[in-house]
Structure 1
């Protein structure tokens, strides 16, 4: 699944970093913590690797 906004892509990158042990899980908050708990490393990798060029800053609700 591709990220739909820059904020989502950034949160996925933070969660992926924690999954890989590069950052501490306790430092995660909000969406990145939810993503860490509910997504696999491969799902996070796919979302975090989305090209940010054409993404909006935030997804409209």
Structure 2
């Protein structure tokens, strides 16, 4: 499932970093915290690796 916005991609990247132990899980906030808990590492990796070109900053509606 590819990211639909830059913000979603950034949140997935932060969650993936915490999942791998590169950052502390306590530093996660908002969407990245819930993503880390509910998604597998492969799902996070797929979402975080989505190309940013042409993506809106935030998904509306």
Q: What TM-score does the superposition give when structure 1 sets the normalisation length? A: 0.98
| Structure 2 CA distance for aligned equivalents of residues 41 and 55 of structure 1 | 22
Residue in 2 that maps onto 1:28: 28
Q: What TM-score does the superposition give when structure 2 sets the normalisation length? A: 0.98
1:41-60 maps to which residues of 2 (within 5 A)?
41-60=41-60
Unmatched runs of 5 consecutive residues or more in structure 1: none
Runs of 4+ in structure 1 displaced over 3 angstroms? none
Unmatched runs of 5 consecutive residues or more in structure 2: none
Give CA-to-partner distance per residue, 1:15-58, whole Å, 9 cap, x none: 00000000000000000000000000000000000000110000
* Number of residue pairs the alignment of both structures matches: 61
Once superposed, what is the RMSD of the aligned Cα atoms? 0.4
